[in-house]
Amino acid sequence: MENVRLIEVKEDILSDNIKLAGEVRERLRGTQTMLLNLMSSPGSGKTSLILQTVEGLAGKVRFGVIEADIDSTVDAEKVTARGIPAIQLRTGGFCHLDATMVTQGIDAMDVSELDLVIIENVGNLVCPAEFDTGAHKNIMILSVPEGDDKPLKYPLMFSICDLLLINKIDYLSLSDFDMSALRERALALNPRLTILEVSCKTGAGIEGWIDWLNGEVETFKNMEE
């Protein structure tokens, strides 16, 4: 065993990624372009939220989208059909985005013309939480059908996020989802977490999300002055 060389691959990969993620943040500060990392399980409503955001930010904030999926371009097609610039990253099996992948997306966009770029990360509650994308803010969506126990099962995801959106609140009357329990569990992991309740289907609560987003973009811009 003394002749065996052990290489901690994950530690090296994460260290390199953290360095590059910092460079991404600084690069985008230079163009005054805020980068948001949107994460959730598959089907929780990431693309639906982005499409709602198109209407809410119209004429106020110039934004683009970096879509990430193991395969397919369907989400990017939905976004571009609404007049929003979008880049599709096909991860080819990777269940997350990292700073290297995000850099490729940024390189393909004219970020100097954008106030905001939203990353729609690969649908997964585990891997995306482990890799810094270079985003200035992390956002998570949890849909009502997924249940209120997810902070107990996936604590890291809740711990790293700045905002938690509870989507599909129109399903509340059809489920045993306990909103109070969810809030208590999430805030125990992350006391600074902002929690908003929305329905991308009915539009309920979307105004609150747009107000939060506008405020964050404005704050980011003022930090550069």
CB 41 within 8 A of CB 65: no
Retrieve residue 44's tokens: 């929780």
pLDDT digits (tens, 9 = 90+) for 96-146: 899 999 999 999 999 999 999 999 999 999 999 999 999 999 999 999 999
pLDDT digits (tens, 9 = 90+) for 31-72: 999 999 999 999 999 999 999 999 899 989 999 999 988 777
At residue 92, does pLDDT exceed 90?
A: no
Burial group, residue 3, by CB count within 10 angstroms (0-12, 13-18, 19+): exposed
pLDDT digits (tens, 9 = 90+) for 11-22: 566 788 899 999
Retrieve residue 56's tokens: 């809410």
Q: How much is the pLDDT for 46?
A: 96
Q: Is there a domain that residue 201 lies in?
A: yes
Q: Is there a domain that residue 26 lies in?
A: yes
Q: Is there a domain that residue 1 lies in?
A: no
- In the predicted model, what is the mean pLDDT of the chain? 92
The residue range of the domain holding 212 is 9-217
Q: How much is the pLDDT for 183?
A: 98
Q: Is there a domain that residue 128 lies in?
A: yes
pLDDT digits (tens, 9 = 90+) for 137-173: 999 999 999 999 999 999 999 999 999 999 999 999 9
Q: Is there a domain that residue 37 lies in?
A: yes
pLDDT digits (tens, 9 = 90+) for 211-223: 999 999 999 999 8
At residue 9, does pLDDT exceed 50?
A: no
Q: Is there a domain that residue 225 lies in?
A: no
Name the domain count of the chain.
Answer: 1
Q: Is there a domain that residue 223 lies in?
A: no
Q: Is there a domain that residue 4 lies in?
A: no
**CATH code (residue 96):** 3.40.50.300
| Whether pTM exceeds 0.95 | no
CB 202 within 8 A of CB 172: no
For residue 93, what pLDDT band results from cuts at 50, 70 and 90? Answer: confident
Q: How much is the pLDDT for 176?
A: 97
